[in-house]
Every structure is written in C-alpha cells, then in structure tokens.
Amino acid sequence: MLKILKSTVLLCLLSALMQVSGYAQESRPGAEAENMVLSAVARMNANDIEGAREILFRLLAQDAENDAAWYYLGMTSLMDKDVSEAETYLKTAVDLDPDNFWYRYRLAGIYGATQRTELTVDMYEKLLEDFPKRSELYLDLVDLYAAQGEFEKALETIGQVETVFGVTESLVMYRFNLLRRMDRHEEAFRSLEKFNEEYSSPYVLTTLADWQMSMYNDSTAIAYYDEALDLAPDYTPALLGKAETYRLIRRYDDYFDVLDSFVSSKDIPASAKSEYLMAVVQRTDPKFIRSFIPQLDSVVTRSADLHSSDSTILQTAGVYYYSTDRKDKAKEYFGRNAAAWPESKAANATLVEFLMYAEDWEALSEEGRKAFEKFPGETAFLEMASVGDYNLKRYDDVLEICRKVLEVAPSDSSSTLRAWSTMGDIYHTLGDAKKSYKAYDKALKINPDYVYVLNNYAYYLSMEGKNLKKAYNMSRKTIEAEPNNSTYLDTFGWILFLQGKPDQAKPYFKQAMLYGGKDSPVILDHYAEVLYALKEYDMAFVYWNLARQKNAGDIPDLDERIEARKKAINR
C-alpha cells in the first residue's frame, strides 16, 4: 500500500534537487537560496533534523514563497513523525507549485497513511491525468481501489497499466487475485491460461497446476508442473506441487523420485528443504511415515549430507528421527548441529532440550554444564543440567548447581526463585526439614505468591502435623490462584481433614476428582480417608480400591491400612 517517505531522505544530488525545486544553474540569481536548500538536505541526510529546519526557516524568512523550502520542511516533519505538521507544509508547497509531481505525490501519501481514502484516490486520479507515464501511480491506485472494494475500477486500472507499459507476470497475478476476491474463480484461472498462451512463467504455470489439482485433474496438473519445471528445473513450488500430487494419488515411487530431486538440488536453499521435510514430519499421517521409513531416511540423510553444517536441516533431521522413535540418531543430529554452531545459544539449547525430552539424564547433566561454560550468563543451562542430576539421584550435585545459580545471577529473581525452590525440595528429599523450610522461606521472600512452593511447603508441614494453621494459609492461596488444580485441592482438603474438618474437606476432594485426581493413588487414598471419617464406608472402599489399582509403590502401607480399616468396622 501507500508509504510515507522513509525517515532518511536520500536526495543529495544537485540534479535531483533541481528537478524538484525548479531551480536552474548556480550562477543565475537565486543561487544562494539553492545552496541553502542543498545544505538543509545534507543536514537531513545526516539525521540533523533541527539543523535542516533552522536553515529552511531562515530561507523562508527571506522568501516566504520558496516552494522547495516548504517541501523539505514537510519532509523533516515526516522524519520527526509529525504527520499533521508535514501535511500543512506540503500543502503550502503544492499551492505554490501545483505542477510539481513530488509535492502532490508526497501529500497523497500522507492522505493514504492517515486513512483519508477519498482524498488519496482523488489526488492519485488527478496525478495520473497529469503524469500518465508514472507507473507507480497506477499500481498505487489499484491498491486504493481494491482497499475500497472498488474491484472493477482496480481491474480497469490494471488494464490501463498493461496498455501503457505492457503485460507482466505481476500484473496478471494481481488481476488473478482480484478476480478470486470477487468470487470469479473461473475467470481468474482463465486469465492465467490466456497469459500462458503468449508468455512463459513458472509461477503462473504452477498456480494453474495447483488449480487443476484442486479439481482432481491430476494428469493436467502434472503436465503444468512439468511445463513449469522445463522453464525452471529447480523451481521449488512446482517440484513440491508435483511431489504432493504423486503422493495424493498414491504414486509413491514417483513421489520419492521427485522428492529426491528436490533435496539433491544444490540450487534450492536448505531452508526450503527443511520447511517441507518438517511439514512431512509434523502434518503427514503417521501411517505414511511408518510405511516409508527407508525412503524418508534416504531423503533426510541426503539433505543433511548436502547441507552438512546447515542448522535448519540438522535440526529437522533430529526432529525426524526423534518423531520416529530413534533417539540415538536424533541425538547424533542435534549433537552435530551444536558442534557445527558452538557459538549458537539456540543450537545448544535445542540439544539440551532434546536430551531432557529423551530422558537421557547422563547426557543432559553433561551437555547442560558444557553449554553453561560457553554461555556463562545463561543459568537455564545449569538448571537443565540439574534436572539430569535429580533424575540420577545426584542430589548434592543439584544443590551445588542451585548455589552456583544464586552466585552468578543474584539479581535474577526468576532464577533465584527456582534455585531456592529446588533446594527446598532437595533438602526435604534428603530428610533435612529445617534446611528445606529455610529455603522455601527464601523463595517466598522473592515471590510470596509462588504457588509451587506454597503447596509443597504446606503439604510437608501437614505430613508432619505441624503448623497446620500456617499450612492452611499457604494452601488457601494456591487454590485461590488455581481452583482446578487437583494437587493443590488435595493439599488443602487434607489439611482440613487433619484439622478435624472432614465435612469441609470433602467438597475439595470432589473437585479434585473432576480435574485429574482419579489418576493419583495418593489423592484417592486421602479422599477415601475423608469418606471413612464421615462414615461413608462404601464409597471410602470404592476409592481405596481405585487407589490400590494405581498404587505403584507411592503408598507403601496402603494394603495394610485398608485391611485395618475393614477390621475396624467388621468387614
């Protein structure tokens, strides 16, 4: 669409200034004014807006009808993003010299930028009458008509451009898109066919092929794709269109032949190959991928071999092998990418993230630390390494990483919050409740509403049967923040139960059951205890049986307690 003149005005040449302002040679009268305008333009080019304006205002004090001075004042206002002031100055320039193309063109640009479409169109139409050879006017006017929904006028203007300047691919595609917006689809494609009878264009041919394919005319579509590829053998849209046509009609040998040509071409950028292969991995029916693993392996390998250090290709190969459950091959490609781009945070982060999802804890611990050594300010790499250490039960190493984070990023509240939180968890795992609660207190000083710590802190206090009032207040915050979190509902309900309020606890457990609580043997067990205390024995044993089915060592004494509860009521 229309654009106001860019902030840097590149009009340094004397000849250009002469064209705009109408001045003659420096030797004639008025040379001093010309020099002042040139000096102002030089200041504008150097982004010295105030210096330029000072010169121009000085010139206008000598000659208030100097149209060039008013024009360039308008340009300085645009550079200063004062559109209203620019409009005032440009209008003055136009009044002083209504035959100057640039004065009117820039003013029309302001009307367009300020959404005054009628004024813009009117000025463009008048400009076109006075300057019929200016191609940019036609194209801008087409945009304006289309924006107003005046599609017939837009089509008529395109016809005028073709009459004056000749038929081009861009014009025929503009007409094509306009006709489709008008729901004249048949006419739109016929216009492309007419163009194709006289001219040759891979873009137009591929568009026609896509159209034929949309109507299930696969043989016609392939013929158009082939015609496009005869003109441009590496034209990506045609190659991929032809490949997809073969895939859709289940000519898989032909599909992979075309795909091999696509990935083997040295003239097609790696980004285009990566984008298509990623689409295949993420959007294609998994059955298709499983059925053609050898062929797809060949395509991916060929791409990676041809672009051995391209990050997008290597990452795509890693994603492909991970999605086909071959973690070792995925690790190889993500590792190659990080090795090829050792200074890239993104490449290293992708490797570390993959190792976490792949649950390769040993490598995660190692690569996370290596990445932190390369990027000492990125404590996230250390935190990822600690995830590996945690799953390897190297709790002292986790604590060491937390201390390192606190040391290198003391002002990063997010990092320090996670560090203190993790330390609280680890100390509790190690059986040191005092240090655990101290770490949690540190975390809550940073963020008193951090629900993860509030829940864990409250739950651990409830397990000890201590400070239930403090536990209640912390847990209350978590369910207010996340009322549908089954874990938080369980903690709060259990605290109420321990306070001797099973009737108040029950609604929270019922809520927890609706939001995933039935998947947790611990929550099921807690709910059963609440129901048992309320003498709802039948339902209590229903939930205990569910807990027993899901228990995988989470509750070591579950079976014994259930039997004890049965004996207590003579069952």
Residue 21 has pLDDT above 50, yes or no: no
- Segment 425-437 shows an average pLDDT of 96
Longest pairwise C-alpha distance within the chain = 121
pLDDT digits (tens, 9 = 90+) for 327-386: 999 999 999 999 999 999 999 999 999 999 999 999 999 999 999 999 998 999 999 999
CA 366, 371, 375 angle in degrees (round to 5)?
150
| 156 has pLDDT over 70 | yes
If you average pLDDT over residues 484-501, what whole number do you get?
A: 97
d(CA 489, CA 512): 6
**pLDDT grade for 160, boundaries at 50, 70 and 90:** confident
Query: Taking the chain, what is the end-to-end CA distance rounded to the nearest angstrom?
Result: 82
pLDDT tens profile 269-293: 999 999 999 999 998 888 999 999 9
25 pLDDT more than 70: no
pLDDT over 80 (residue 12): no
Most confident among 28-37, 145-154, 214-223, 479-488 (mean pLDDT): 479-488
The conformation of residue 4, written as its DSSP 8-state character, comes to P
| C-beta neighbour count of 361 within 10 angstroms | 19
Question: In the chain, pLDDT over 70 holds for what percent of residues?
Answer: 94
Comparing 83-97, 128-142, 225-239, 552-566, the range with the smallest average pLDDT is: 128-142
pLDDT value for 4: 39
Domain ranges of the chain: 449-571
Percent of the chain surpassing pLDDT 90: 62
Q: Long-range CB contacts (< 8 A, 24+ apart) of 274-281? A: 274/303, 274/310, 274/312, 274/313, 274/315, 274/316, 276/240, 277/303, 277/316, 277/320, 278/316, 278/319, 281/316, 281/319, 281/320, 281/323
Q: Which CATH class is domain 449-571?
A: mainly alpha
Is residue 13 very low, low, confident or very high in pLDDT (cuts 50, 70, 90)?
very low
pLDDT digits (tens, 9 = 90+) for 251-260: 999 999 999 9
Q: What is the mean pLDDT of the chain?
A: 89
Mean pLDDT lowest for which of 71-80, 449-458, 535-544, 549-558? Answer: 71-80
pLDDT at 30: 63
Cα separation of 176 and 153, whole Å? 15
Lowest mean pLDDT among 33-37, 416-420, 461-465: 33-37
Greater pLDDT, 160 or 355: 355
Query: Residue written as tokens 């997008």?
Result: 312
Phi-psi region of 466 (alpha: psi -120 to 50; beta: other; left: phi over 0): beta
Mean predicted confidence (pLDDT) in 496-509: 97
pTM: 0.70
- The residue written with tokens 């040391």 in the block is 407
In this predicted structure, what is the pLDDT of residue 24?
42
Q: Residue 563 above 80 pLDDT?
A: yes
Read off the pLDDT of each residue in 499-505 and give the average, rounded to a whole number: 97
